[in-house]
C-alpha cells in the first residue's frame, strides 16, 4: 500500500507499472493486474476533494479505524413508518386499563400538537423472555427468545415527528436534506473490506423505497462513491451487473483485453495520470464484482435448516428472511454497512399505523420477527455477532392516544420511543432509559438520535466527535458541531 | 472578587465565608462535577463558550450571557436552565436534575455562588478568538478584500510568453520557480479541448479536418468565435451556473413535489449566457429582477433564483424552517456571488473569517420579506410585459371581429335549423314546458356516491391495455363495486369500496334517451384524474380537492355524445396522503345544442350544401376560439414579498432566542457605509431592499464579485480555479496560486463591461491555455500539483458531456432547446427506490429523450442514474467544484446499461450506413468519431481482430460490430480530454 497519500498529480514510480502494463497488453493475467494495481496505490489518488486539490485514497480501499473497534459491520434493520414502542418492547401495564378513557397528555405528531386524547390500550400481551426477564409483546415471540443478546433503548428522542424530516434525521443526523447518511460516514471512515462488493448496501421493501428515496442513503456533500448501493436479494443483485445482449464471460474477457490494449497505448504517453490507470483497473474490478456479487446472493448454497431459520420456507417471512440471510452473507464477505427496510411506499405498506394498529403491526411484525431472530441466532453460532452491530428501530415511535375519534391508529411520537441494539460489543439483556407511564415521552436517560449514531461510530472504532469531513469551511460531523456522546450504559 | 464584597441576599448574611465554601465543597461541587464539568470546562471542550469550573467563568457566562444574576439570584440563567421549562432551557441535556439537587444549587446561587478556589479549573476561555475574525486594519488588508485593479504586467524575457498579459503573469511565476512551460498542444487536442470547454460537445471529423487545414494565423480564434456564437455555449456554461445555485425542480422531503415552471429559470440562464448578458446585469436580475426600473419578463424569471432550494412542506418546527429557507438563500448567494461563507455566522460569529453574527442577520434582513414557498401556483408570477399585453389585446380585438363576422353568417343557418326542427318536434320551442319536464326527468344520467348508495362501476387497479377508455373495450375481467373508491377518512368522500393503490381505472356505461342540452360532470378526485367520454379525453384534473365539484362538459362532449349507450371512463392517480375518486353526470334536457341538432337532423332540414357551409363556419369558429385560449398570460416561478418583517440576531441560531434587532447592512469587513433604501426603490409590492443589495454586489467597487467570477471562468477552462475553493475566498479556503493574475482578470472583466464571451476568448487565446498536457520528470518532481501552470491539466468529461457525446457520436442527439424538462428511460431498479415506484419518474417521447442532458428533469429524491454515476452536482447545496471519481459501478454502467448497449447498436448502424460493408473502414471511422484523430495501424488491427474473434465464434457480423462500438464508447481516450 505504497502511495496512498501522494497528491493527485504525483509522478509516482510509474516506470515499473508501465512495463507491467505492456506485458499485460501482451496477454498477462489481468486479474493479477488488478491486485497489483489496487495494492500499489493505482486506485488511490484518483479523486479530488471539493476544494479541487486535496487528494484522497481510493474511496473503496479499506482503512483502519483510529481506535480499537468492537464492531466491524453494522446491520441496520429500519422499521420504516415508526413502530409503536408500547405495543412491542416498552411494557406499559398502566396503559391497558386506560383504554378508551380520555386523558391529558402532551403529544406532537402528524396531527399537530395536542394536550390530550383517548387512550388506545396496548393491543398485545407482554411476556417475560430470557434470563433477563425482559417483557416483550406477542408481536415478537422469536425476537423475544433472543432478548439476552439485546440492549433496549427505551428513551430515544428525535427532533421531528414528521416522516420526511425524521427519516433524514435517523439516517443522516439532520432534519435538513443534503447531509451524508450514517452508512456513508462508515464507508468514508472505513472503506470496504471487499473491493468486489459495495461497502454500503441498502435493501428495500418490495412495495418501494421509503419516502425521499435515495436521500436516505445519499452521500450528501461527499463523493457519490460513499453512497449506499441498492441491492436486490433476488434476481440481479446490483444494477447493470449482468452482461448485456448475451455477452458471455469469455467474450467479455476478450473484449476487456482488447480495451486494455487501446487504453494502455493511450496511457503510455500519459503515465503520470493515475486517473487513467484507475479507470483501467476499474474494468477489472467490475469484472470481478460481476462474479462475486451473484455468488453472494446464491441462497441455494445455504442448507435447508439455515433457510428455515430465517423463514425462507414461509411465504410471509420469505422476503425479509432473504434480506437478513443476504445481510449475513455480505457481513461474511466484508461489507461494512447494511440497511434493510421493513416497509416501503406509503400508509400501511409500512409501520405507519394511523388507522388499524392491530392489522398493521401484526402484518409487519409477522413478516420480520422470525427473520430477525434467525439473523441474531445465525450470527451468534458463526461467531459473527461479536463483530456485527445490529440496530433495530424506526424514525420515531407512536403515541399512547388515538389519532382519530374511532379506531386504534396512533399518530407519530418523537418525544420518546424504543430502539434496540445487539452484537458488536453491545451488552445483552439490558434496558436503559424510560418513558413515562403512558409511553408518551422519554423521562429518564433521554437519548437523542445523535447518541445512537455516536454509539455506532464508537463501536466501529471512532471518536464520534473526531470523525469529520471538511466541507463549506467547516469540519462537518455526523453528530453535528455540538457533538454527542455514545450511550455508555450499553457498551 | 471576594464573596464579602458581593451584595448579599438574606440567607447569605447568616453564613461565614468559610461556611459558604464548606457548603460548596460538601454539597455543590459533586453535583457540578458529575453533571456539568464534562462540557463546561472540566475537559478540553467548552460548550456554549461557558466555563462552569471557576467562579470567574460562572460570572462571565457564555454565549447567551452571564450565568448568575447576583442582584436577583432567582432570575439567574443557570437556574433557568435547570428548570427544564421548555426545549431551550434544559440543562443538563440528558435529564433534569432531581429536585433536591436543584434546591441545593438554588441555595448556592442565593449565597452568591461561592467557589472553593482550590477546586477551580481555570483555562484559556477564548481559544476561538483568532485574530482573523476581528474587523480591523489588518484583517481588512487580506488579499481578497482588496480593490480590484489591474496590477502591472510583469516583463518577461520570452517573446512568445510576453505578448499576452495572462501569459506574462504565468511565465513570470514559472521562471521564478525555475520551471519551463510546455509547448503548444497538438491541434487535434486543442480543438477538442475548445469544443468541450465552450459547448460541451465533440467536434465532428469534418470540423477537425477544416481546422487542421486552416493555416491562417487566426485559425483558432475563428474556432472560438464560432463556438461562442453557438446556442450550445449557453447550455454548457449555463450548467456551470446551475451547479452553483443548486438548481432542481422538486422541493425534496416526503412528497418531493414538482416545482412547476421552474425550468424557465434554467432557460433564462442559458439565454443569458448566449446573449452575453453582462455579468453585473445577470446578478441584478437574479437578486432583484422584479424591483428593477427596467424590469422585463426575463428579469422576473431570473428571480426564480429564490425558489430553487429545498423546503419542507411539513416541517416539525415552522419558525425554524422559515429561517432554514432564508439561510439556504443567504448561504447560496454569499458563496456564489461573493465567495464568502457567511452561513458560518448563523449561530455565532464566524470562527475563521471576520464575519460577525450581526453581519449574517443584517444580510438576512434583505431577504426576510420574501414570501414563503408554496405548492402548485403559489409562487407563480406573471411575466408578460405591458407591450406584449397590448399586442395581445390588439390581436384579441382583431380576432373578435372575425368571430363576429362568422357568427353573423352562422346565425341565419342556425335559425333555419331550429325552425325546421321545431316543425318536426314542436316541444323544442315550448320553453314554458321546460320546468315541468325537468321535474319529471331525473337530472342524473349517473348519480355520484353522495346521492343515495352510489353506483356500481367496473374498475381495476392493475394497468389495463392501451385502449381501456374506448366504448368497445372489454372490461369483463375488471372487478365491480360500489362508488366512491378511496381510503377512509378522505375529506368529503363517501368510501364504499376501499382503494389503496396508486392508480385506479374506472368504467361505467349509462344510457341517454335523448341528447341533453347541458351535461355536467360532478367529480371528487384525490389526486390527478383523466376523464374520457366515449373514448375522447374530455377533461383532466390535477391535485386533490376535498369535495365534489361541478364541471360543465357540454362543449367537450358535443362530438361524441350519443343516444343509447355511452361510456364514461376515469383514470385516477394518487401520489400521497388520502385518495378518493367518484363521479356523476347531470343532464339538462331543456335545450338541445345546435351542433348536435345539426349532426342529427341537419342533412334533412338544411340539405347537404347548407349543412356543409354550417359545418365549415362552425369549424372556423371553434378553431378561432381555441386560439383565443392560447394567447394567455405567461407565468414563471419567481420571487414575491409579503409584508415587512423585522429581523433580529438569533442567539445560537435559535428562532426563540431573539437578540438585538438589525437592519439591512453589508458585511462590515467590505463596507462601512450604512444601507439606505433610496426613494423610489419601494415598488409597492416589495421594499426595494433586494435592489440595494443587488447594486452593491454587482458594483465594480465590490472587491469580491468580479474576482469570484473571473476565478470561475478560469476554473472551467483549466479544471481548477486560481483560488481552488472557488466558493470560499476566506482564510480557510485555498489561497490563490496567482493573485495578480486573478486581480488582472477581474479588472478586465469589469472594464469589458462584465461581458463573458470576451473573457473566454482572452483566456483561450493565451499560450497558457494552448499548452500541451504532457508531463515531464523535472516539472512533475518540482510541482506535482501543477500549481504554477507549467502544463495544461487533462480532464475527464463531465456527466453531461459523456452522455451528450455518446448521443452526438451515434447521431441521435436532438439539439432542441428550452421548454419543460425531459425524462430519460431509467431502469426499473432505480424507479423502485422511490416510495411511489410508478409515479416517481416521467416519460418523454423518443425524440425528447435524446435531448441534451441540461434538459433532463432534476428530481432531488431520484437523480437521473447515468448522470448521478458520473459525479453530477449535488442538488441540495451549492456545488462549486464537482468530484471526479472512478469506481467499478461506473464501469458496469458503461458496459452493461441499456443506454450504452442501445447506443452501440445505433453507432454500428451509422458505421454500416457511412462505410457500408468495409469493416476496416468502419473501425477507422468509429475511432475517429470518438477521438477526433485518425486510427493508428494498431487500433485498426485490434479492432478487426476483436470483430473477427467474435465472428469466428459464431456471432453475426453486425453484432460483432456492435460490440466493437461498445468498446469504442468505453475508451479512456473518449472520456478524457488530451
**pLDDT tens, B551-573?**
888 888 877 887 777 899 999 98
Contact list in A for residue B319 (CB cut-off 8 A) is none
**pLDDT above 50: residue A266:** yes
Q: Which of A70-84, A163-177, B360-374, B544-558 has the lowest mean pLDDT?
A: B544-558
DSSP-assigned letters across all residues of B864-881: -HHHHHTTPPPSSS--SS
The minimal CB distance from A344 to the residues B95, B489, B835 is found for B835
B356 in contact with chain A, both atoms CB, cutoff 8 A: no
A249 in contact with chain B, both atoms CB, cutoff 8 A: no
Rounded to a whole number, what is the distance in Å from the CA of A236 to chain B's nearest CA? Answer: 10
**pLDDT above 60: residue A461:** yes
Better-scored residue on pLDDT, B854 or A36: B854
CA distance B707 to B759: 13
Phi, psi torsion values for B495, nearest 5 degrees: -80, 120
Do the Cβ atoms of B832 and A204 come within 8 Å? yes
Nearest-Cα residue of chain A relative to residue B729: A473
* A434: nearest Cα among A445, A447, A450: A445
List the single best residue of B37, B498, B499, B883 to mutate versus A (max A Cβ within 10 A): B883
Do the Cβ atoms of B896 and A11 come within 8 Å? no
* B211: nearest Cα among B221, B199, B201: B221
CA distance B370 to B365: 10
Do the Cβ atoms of B897 and A244 come within 8 Å? yes
Q: Under 8 Å CB-to-CB from B238, ≥6 apart: which residues?
A: B266, B269, B270, B272, B273, B854
Residue B131 pLDDT class (50, 70, 90 cuts): low
A244 in contact with chain B, both atoms CB, cutoff 8 A: yes
B318 in contact with chain A, both atoms CB, cutoff 8 A: no
A324 in contact with chain B, both atoms CB, cutoff 8 A: no
Contact list in B for residue A408 (CB cut-off 8 A) is none
CA distance B347 to B649: 9
CA distance A439 to A421: 20
CA distance B743 to B680: 35
Do the Cβ atoms of B888 and A289 come within 8 Å? yes
Rounded to a whole number, what is the distance in Å from the CA of A382 to chain B's nearest CA? Answer: 31
Q: Under 8 Å CB-to-CB from B206, ≥6 apart: which residues?
A: none
B339 in contact with chain A, both atoms CB, cutoff 8 A: no
Do the Cβ atoms of B869 and A224 come within 8 Å? yes
DSSP letter assigned to residue A444: E
Residue B231 pLDDT class (50, 70, 90 cuts): very high
Q: Specify whether the CB–CB gap between B693 and B288 falls below 8 A.
A: yes
List the single best residue of A167, A279, A450 to mutate versus B (max B Cβ within 10 A): A279
Top-level class of domain A73-235+297-490:
alpha beta
pTM score: 0.75
Q: What is the mean pLDDT of residues A370-391?
A: 97
List the single best residue of B316, B343, B950 to mutate versus A (max A Cβ within 10 A): B316
Phi, psi torsion values for B240, nearest 5 degrees: -55, -40
Do the Cβ atoms of B47 and A482 come within 8 Å? yes
Nearest-Cα residue of chain A relative to residue B865: A239
In this prediction, residue A23 carries a pLDDT of 29
Better-scored residue on pLDDT, A22 or A330: A330
Do the Cβ atoms of A282 and B971 come within 8 Å? no
Using CA atoms, how far residue B947 sits from A23, A374, B955, B961, in Å, is: 23, 51, 9, 6
Do the Cβ atoms of A48 and B862 come within 8 Å? no
Nearest-Cα residue of chain A relative to residue B721: A52
A463 in contact with chain B, both atoms CB, cutoff 8 A: no
Contact list in B for residue A253 (CB cut-off 8 A) is none
Better-scored residue on pLDDT, B314 or B969: B969
Contact list in A for residue B344 (CB cut-off 8 A) is 472-474
Cα B542–Cα B543–Cα B548 angle in degrees, nearest 5 = 95
Q: What is the mean pLDDT of residues A116-140?
A: 96
Nearest-Cα residue of chain A relative to residue B900: A244
Rounded to a whole number, what is the distance in Å from the CA of B478 to chain A's nearest CA? Answer: 23
In this prediction, residue A45 carries a pLDDT of 36
Rounded to a whole number, what is the distance in Å from the CA of B313 to chain A's nearest CA? Answer: 9
A359 in contact with chain B, both atoms CB, cutoff 8 A: no
Residues 728-757 of B with CB under 8 A from A: 728, 730, 732-734
**pLDDT above 70: residue A50:** no
- Which three three-digit cell numbers place residue B439? 321535474
Do the Cβ atoms of A473 and B352 come within 8 Å? yes
Q: Specify whether the CB–CB gap between A478 and A74 falls below 8 A.
A: no
Residue A38 pLDDT class (50, 70, 90 cuts): very low
Q: Which residues of B552-566 are buried (b: 16+ CB within 10 A; e: fewer)?
A: ebbebbbeebeeeeb
Residues 442-501 of B with CB under 8 A from A: 487-489, 500
B814 in contact with chain A, both atoms CB, cutoff 8 A: no
Ranges for all domains in chain A classified under CATH 3.40.720: 73-235+297-490
Q: What is the mean pLDDT of residues B969-978?
A: 96
Q: Kindly report the average pLDDT of chain B as a whole number.
A: 88
B889 in contact with chain A, both atoms CB, cutoff 8 A: yes
Query: At what angle are helices A249-267 and A274-296 packed, to 10 degrees?
Result: 170
Do the Cβ atoms of B827 and A240 come within 8 Å? yes
Give chain B's end-to-end CA distance (angstroms, integer). Answer: 73
Rounded to a whole number, what is the distance in Å from the CA of A306 to chain B's nearest CA? Answer: 28
Contact list in A for residue B773 (CB cut-off 8 A) is 270
**pLDDT above 60: residue A21:** no
- The pLDDT tens digits of the residues spanning B427-482 come to 544 443 344 444 344 577 788 887 777 788 999 998 888 789 888 788 888 888 88
Better-scored residue on pLDDT, B140 or A434: A434
CA distance A212 to A166: 11
Residue A340: strand pairing partners: A77, A203
List the single best residue of A13, A26, A49, A51 to mutate versus B (max B Cβ within 10 A): A51
The minimal CB distance from B946 to the residues A229, A254, A266 is found for A254
CA distance A390 to A422: 5
Residue A46 pLDDT class (50, 70, 90 cuts): very low
Contact list in B for residue A5 (CB cut-off 8 A) is none
Q: Which of B51-55, B649-653, B687-691, B752-756 has the lowest mean pLDDT?
A: B51-55
Better-scored residue on pLDDT, B133 or A342: A342
Do the Cβ atoms of B861 and A212 come within 8 Å? yes
Contact list in B for residue A273 (CB cut-off 8 A) is 775, 794
In this prediction, residue B14 carries a pLDDT of 66
CA distance B419 to A205: 68
Give chain A's end-to-end CA distance (angstroms, integer). Answer: 33
- Which three three-digit cell numbers place residue A342? 421493513
Rounded to a whole number, what is the distance in Å from the CA of A194 to chain B's nearest CA? Answer: 13
- The pLDDT tens digits of the residues spanning B182-200 come to 999 999 999 999 999 999 9
Q: What is the mean pLDDT of residues B678-686?
A: 92
Amino acid at each position: 500500500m505504497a502511495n496512498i497519500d501522494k497528491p493527485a498529480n504525483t509522478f509516482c514510480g510509474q516506470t515499473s507499472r508501465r512495463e507491467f502494463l505492456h506485458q499485460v497488453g501482451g496477454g498477462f493475467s489481468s486479474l493479477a493486474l488488478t491486485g497489483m494495481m489496487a495494492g500499489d496505490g493505482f486506485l488511490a489518488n484518483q479523486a479530488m476533494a471539493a476544494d479541487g486539490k486535496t487528494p484522497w485514497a481510493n474511496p473503496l480501499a479499506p482503512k483502519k479505524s483510529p481506535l480499537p473497534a468492537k464492531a466491524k459491520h453494522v446491520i441496520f434493520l429500519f422499521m420504516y413508518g415508526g413502530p409503536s414502542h408500547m405495543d412491542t418492547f416498552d411494557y406499559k401495564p398502566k396503559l391497558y386499563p386506560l383504554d378508551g378513557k380520555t386523558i391529558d397528555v402532551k403529544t406532537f405528531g402528524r396531527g399537530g400538537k395536542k394536550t390530550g386524547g383517548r387512550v388506545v390500550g396496548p393491543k398485545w400481551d407482554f411476556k417475560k423472555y430470557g434470563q433477563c426477564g425482559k417483557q416483550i409483546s406477542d408481536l415478537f415471540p422469536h425476537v423475544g427468545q433472543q432478548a439476552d443478546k439485546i440492549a433496549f433503548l427505551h428513551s430515544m428522542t428525535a427532533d421531528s415527528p414528521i416522516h420526511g424530516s425524521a427519516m433524514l434525521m435517523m439516517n443522516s443526523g439532520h432534519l435538513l436534506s443534503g447531509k451524508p447518511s450514517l452508512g456513508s460516514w462508515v464507508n468514508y471512515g472505513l472503506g470496504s473490506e471487499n473491493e468486489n462488493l459495495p461497502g454500503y448496501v441498502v435493501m428495500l421493501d418490495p412495495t418501494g423505497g421509503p419516502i425521499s428515496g435515495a436521500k436516505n442513503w445519499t452521500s450528501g456533500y461527499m463523493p457519490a462513491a460513499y453512497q449506499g448501493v441498492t441491492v436486490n436479494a433476488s434476481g440481479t443483485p446490483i444494477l447493470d451487473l449482468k452482461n448485456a445482449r448475451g455477452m458471455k464471460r469469455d467474450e467479455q474477457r476478450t473484449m476487456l483485453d482488447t480495451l486494455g490494449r487501446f487504453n494502455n497505448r493511450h496511457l503510455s504517453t500519459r503515465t503520470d495520470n493515475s486517473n487513467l490507470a484507475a479507470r483501467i483497473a476499474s474494468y477489472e474490478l467490475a469484472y470481478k464484482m460481476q462474479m462475486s456479487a451473484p455468488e453472494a446472493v446464491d441462497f441455494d448454497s445455504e442448507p435447508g435448516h439455515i433457510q428455515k431459520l430465517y423463514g425462507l420456507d414461509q411465504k410471509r417471512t420469505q422476503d425479509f428472511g432473504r434480506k437478513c440471510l443476504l445481510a449475513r452473507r455480505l457481513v461474511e464477505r466484508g461489507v461494512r454497512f447494511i440497511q434493510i427496510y421493513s416497509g416501503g411506499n406509503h400508509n400501511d405498506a409500512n409501520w405507519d399505523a394511523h388507522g388499524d394498529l392491530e392489522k398493521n403491526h401484526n402484518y409487519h411484525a409477522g413478516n420480520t420477527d422470525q427473520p430477525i431472530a434467525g439473523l441474531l441466532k445465525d450470527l451468534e453460532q458463526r461467531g459473527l455477532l461479536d463483530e456485527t452491530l445490529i440496530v433495530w428501530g424506526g424514525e420515531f415511535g407512536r403515541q399512547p392516544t388515538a389519532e382519530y375519534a374511532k379506531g386504534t391508529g396512533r399518530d407519530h411520537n418523537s418525544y420518546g420511543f424504543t430502539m434496540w441494539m445487539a452484537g458488536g460489543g453491545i451488552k445483552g439483556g439490558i434496558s436503559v432509559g424510560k418513558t413515562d407511564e403512558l409511553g408518551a415521552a422519554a423521562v429518564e436517560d433521554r437519548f437523542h438520535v445523535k447518541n445512537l449514531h455516536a454509539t455506532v461510530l464508537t463501536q466501529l472504532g471512532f471518536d464520534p466527535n473526531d470523525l469529520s469531513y471538511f466541507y463549506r469551511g467547516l469540519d462537518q460531523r455526523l453528530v453535528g458541531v455540538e457533538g454527542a456522546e455514545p450511550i455508555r450504559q450499553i457498551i | 472578587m471576594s464573596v464579602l464584597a458581593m451584595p448579599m441576599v438574606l440567607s447569605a448574611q447568616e453564613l461565614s465565608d468559610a461556611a459558604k465554601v464548606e457548603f460548596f465543597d460538601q454539597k455543590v461541587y459533586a453535583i457540578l462535577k458529575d453533571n456539568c464539568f464534562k462540557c463546561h470546562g472540566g475537559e478540553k471542550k467548552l460548550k456554549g463558550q461557558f466555563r462552569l469550573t471557576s467562579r470567574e467563568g460562572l460570572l462571565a457566562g457564555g454565549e447567551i450571557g452571564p450565568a448568575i444574576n447576583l442582584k436577583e439570584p432567582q432570575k439567574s440563567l443557570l437556574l433557568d436552565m435547570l428548570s427544564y421549562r421548555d426545549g431551550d432551557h434544559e440543562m443538563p441535556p440528558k435529564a433534569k436534575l432531581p429536585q433536591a439537587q436543584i434546591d441545593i444549587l438554588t441555595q448556592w446561587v442565593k449565597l452568591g455562588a461561592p467557589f472553593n478556589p482550590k477546586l477551580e479549573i481555570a483555562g484559556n476561555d477564548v481559544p476561538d478568538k483568532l485574530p482573523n475574525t476581528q474587523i480591523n486594519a489588518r484583517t481588512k488588508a487580506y488579499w481578497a478584500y482588496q480593490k480590484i485593479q489591474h496590477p502591472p504586467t510583469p516583463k518577461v524575457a520570452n517573446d512568445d510568453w510576453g505578448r499576452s498579459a495572462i501569459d506574462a503573469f504565468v511565465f513570470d511565476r514559472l521562471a521564478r520557480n525555475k520551471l519551463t512551460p510546455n509547448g503548444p498542444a497538438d491541434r487535434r487536442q486543442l480543438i477538442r479541448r475548445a469544443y468541450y470547454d465552450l459547448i460541451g460537445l465533440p467536434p465532428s471529423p469534418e470540423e477537425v479536418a477544416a481546422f487542421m487545414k486552416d493555416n491562417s494565423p487566426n485559425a483558432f480564434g475563428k474556432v472560438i468565435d464560432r463556438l461562442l456564437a453557438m446556442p450550445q455555449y449557453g447550455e454548457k456554461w449555463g450548467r456551470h451556473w446551475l451547479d452553483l445555485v443548486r438548481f432542481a425542480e422538486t422541493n425534496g422531503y416526503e412528497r418531493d413535489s414538482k416545482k412547476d415552471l421552474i425550468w424557465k429559470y434554467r432557460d433564462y440562464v442559458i439565454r443569458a449566457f448566449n446573449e452575453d448578458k453582462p455579468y453585473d446585469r445577470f446578478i441584478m436580475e437574479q437578486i432583484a429582477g422584479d424591483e428593477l426600473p427596467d424590469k422585463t419578463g426575463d428579469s422576473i424569471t431570473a428571480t426564480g433564483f429564490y425558489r430553487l432550494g429545498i423546503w419542507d412542506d411539513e416541517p416539525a418546527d415552522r419558525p425554524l424552517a422559515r429561517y432554514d429557507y432564508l439561510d439556504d438563500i443567504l448561504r447560496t448567494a454569499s458563496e456564489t456571488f461573493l465567495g464568502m461563507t457567511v452561513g458560518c455566522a448563523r449561530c455565532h460569529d464566524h470562527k475563521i473569517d471576520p464575519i460577525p453574527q450581526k453581519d449574517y442577520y443584517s444580510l438576512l434582513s434583505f431577504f426576510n420579506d420574501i414570501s414563503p414557498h408554496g405548492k402548485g401556483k403559489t409562487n407563480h408570477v406573471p411575466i408578460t410585459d405591458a407591450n406584449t399585453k397590448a399586442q395581445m389585446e390588439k390581436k384579441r380585438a382583431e380576432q373578435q371581429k372575425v368571430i363576429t363576422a362568422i357568427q353573423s353568417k352562422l346565425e341565419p343557418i342556425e335559425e333555419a335549423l331550429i325552425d325546421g326542427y321545431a316543425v318536426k318536434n314542436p316541444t323544442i320551442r315550448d320553453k314554458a314546458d321546460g320546468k315541468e319536464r325537468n321535474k319529471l326527468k331525473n337530472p342524473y344520467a349517473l348519480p355520484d356516491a353522495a346521492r343515495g348508495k352510489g353506483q356500481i362501476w367496473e374498475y381495476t387497479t392493475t394497468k389495463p391495455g392501451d385502449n381501456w377508455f374506448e366504448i368497445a373495450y372489454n372490461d369483463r375481467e375488471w372487478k365491480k363495486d360500489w362508488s366512491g373508491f378511496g381510503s377512509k377518512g378522505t375529506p368529503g368522500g363517501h368510501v364504499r369500496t376501499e382503494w389503496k393503490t396508486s392508480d385506479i381505472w374506472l368504467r361505467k356505461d349509462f344510457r341517454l334517451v335523448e341528447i341533453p342540452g347541458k351535461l355536467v360532470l360532478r367529480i371528487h378526485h384525490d389526486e390527478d384524474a383523466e376523464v374520457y367520454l366515449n373514448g375522447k379525453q374530455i377533461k383532466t384534473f390535477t391535485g386533490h380537492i376535498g369535495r365534489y365539484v361541478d364541471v360543465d362538459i357540454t362543449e367537450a362532449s358535443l362530438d361524441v355524445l350519443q343516444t343509447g349507450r355511452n361510456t364514461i371512463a376515469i383514470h385516477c392517480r394518487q401520489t400521497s396522503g388520502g385518495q378518493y375518486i367518484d363521479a356523476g353526470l347531470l343532464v339538462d334536457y331543456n335545450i338541445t345544442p345546435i351542433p348536435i341538432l345539426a349532426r342529427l337532423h341537419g342533412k334533412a332540414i338544411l340539405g347537404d350544401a347548407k349543412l356543409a357551409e354550417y359545418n365549415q363556419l362552425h369549424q372556423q369558429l371553434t378553431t378561432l376560439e381555441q386560439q383565443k385560449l392560447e394567447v394567455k398570460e405567461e407565468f414563471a416561478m419567481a420571487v414575491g414579498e409579503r409584508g415587512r418583517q423585522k429581523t433580529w440576531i438569533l442567539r445560537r441560531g435559535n428562532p426563540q432566542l431573539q437578540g438585538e434587532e438589525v437592519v439591512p447592512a453589508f458585511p462590515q469587513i467590505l463596507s462601512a457605509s450604512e444601507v439606505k433604501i433610496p426613494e423610489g426603490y419601494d415598488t409597492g409590492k416589495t421594499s426595494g431592499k433586494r435592489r440595494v443589495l443587488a447594486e452593491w454586489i454587482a458594483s465594480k467597487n465590490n472587491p469580491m464579485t468580479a474576482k469570484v467570477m473571473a476565478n470561475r471562468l478560469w476554473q472551467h477552462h483549466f479544471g481548477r480555479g486560481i483560488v481552488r475553493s472557488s466558493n470560499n475566498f476566506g482564510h480557510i479556503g485555498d489561497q490563490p496560486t496567482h493573485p495578480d493574475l486573478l486581480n488582472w482578470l477581474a479588472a478586465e472583466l469589469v472594464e469589458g463591461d462584465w461581458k463573458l464571451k470576451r473573457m473566454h476568448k482572452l483566456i483561450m487565446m493565451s499560450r497558457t491555455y494552448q499548452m500541451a498536457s504532457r508531463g515531464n520528470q523535472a516539472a512533475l518532481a518540482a510541482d506535482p500539483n501543477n500549481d504554477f501552470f507549467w502544463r495544461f491539466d487533462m480532464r475527464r468529461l463531465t456527466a453531461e458531456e459523456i452522455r451528450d457525446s455518446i448521443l452526438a457520436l451515434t447521431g441521435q442527439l436532438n439539439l432542441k432547446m428550452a421548454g419543460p424538462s425531459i425524462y430519460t428511460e431509467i431502469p426499473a431498479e432505480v424507479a423502485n427506490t422511490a416510495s411511489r415506484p410508478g409515479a416517481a419518474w416521467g416519460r418523454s417521447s423518443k425524440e425528447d429523450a435524446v435531448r441534451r442532458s441540461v434538459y433532463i428533469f432534476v428530481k432531488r429524491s431520484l437523480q437521473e442514474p447515468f448522470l448521478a454515476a458520473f459525479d453530477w452536482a449535488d442538488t441540495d447545496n451549492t456545488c462549486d467544484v464537482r468530484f471526479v471519481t472512478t469506481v467499478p459501478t461506473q464501469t458496469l454502467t458503461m458496459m452493461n446499461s441499456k443506454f450504452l448497449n442501445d447506443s452501440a447498436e445505433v453507432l454500428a448502424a451509422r458505421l454500416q450506413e457511412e462505410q457500408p460493408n468495409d469493416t476496416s473502414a468502419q473501425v477507422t471511422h468509429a475511432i475517429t468519431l470518438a477521438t477526433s484523430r485518425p486510427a493508428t495501424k494498431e487500433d485498426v488491427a485490434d479492432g478487426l481482430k476483436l470483430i473477427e474473434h467474435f465472428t469466428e465464434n459464431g456471432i453475426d457480423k453486425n453484432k460483432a460490430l456492435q460490440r466493437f462500438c461498445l468498446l469504442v464508447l468505453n475508451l479512456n481516450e473518449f472520456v478524457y480530454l488530451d
